[in-house]
């Protein structure tokens, strides 16, 4: 079997944890910052985990991570 190519967009956006969970960043945090509250902007900086319905698809995109 040939090697599977890693999706370059996915490797920049997702990381796999030691236990196999998929870590991701929050969206909508880089523009129109004056109408967002400080609390909301601070919360958007923190990472999150991908939903379990998307994990299988993401793992196919980053097979060697």
Domains along the sequence of the chain with CATH: 8-61 (4.10.410.60)
Q: With contact defined as beta carbons under 8 Å apart, do 26 and 41 qualify? A: no
Distance CA 33, CA 50 (A): 24
End-to-end CA gap in the chain: 19
Sign of CA dihedral 52, 27, 63, 1: positive
> Consecutive 10-residue runs of the chain (65 residues): their mean pLDDT?
94 96 91 92 94 96 92
Provide the 10 A C-beta neighbour count for residue 3. 7
pLDDT for the residue 37: 93
């Amino acid at each position: 079997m040939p090697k599977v190519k890693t999706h370059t967009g996915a490797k920049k956006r997702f990381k796999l944890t030691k236990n196999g969970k998929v870590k991701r960043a929050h969206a909508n945090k880089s523009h129109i910052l004056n109408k967002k509250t400080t609390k909301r902007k601070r919360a958007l900086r923190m990472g999150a985990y991908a939903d379990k319905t998307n994990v299988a698809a993401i793992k196919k995109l980053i097979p060697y991570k």
